[in-house]
Structure 1
């Protein structure tokens, strides 16, 4: 089963950032799958929080925040969330398939 997402570069960018965050301070070993997953989820959360903050600033008519920047941030957050949702669905499906296997 192939779990790679190759259609959109934005989630992969978040995944690479999450992988960098998952590496311990020594940099010699990775924290593993759980660390990468936690890092990716935190990156998605950061993107959503940034989009929400920019949206609030646009609503408050802050001249330093443009509507274009806000819309791009909202789209990035939405794409990241959709990719996370697809990964979660695939993980649940893989778990279900494994649990239904006869031993």
Structure 2
């Protein structure tokens, strides 16, 4: 059976007072999921906005990937497939990480 879909991901960035925030929004045509990430510039470091953007965006996409993995785990369990061993626990990036 042939199967094709197009999923789109938009990454939205904003920066204020040395903190960059990112949202990665996945739309698969049936539902949406949103991953979030932040990056903070150390006051003693040179401010290079592109680095904050990269860090925040990558953390948002990592959060989104974790959500997708958990959804896949739930869907697998719903059809009787074995759960991953050991269970996955390291999803996303803590929002309040220094």
Fold shared per TM-score above 0.5:
no
Q: Which structure carries more helix by proportion? A: 1
The normalised TM-score by structure 1 is 0.38
The normalised TM-score by structure 2 is 0.40
Bigger relative contact order, structure 1 or 2, given CA contacts below 8 A and separation 6+?
1
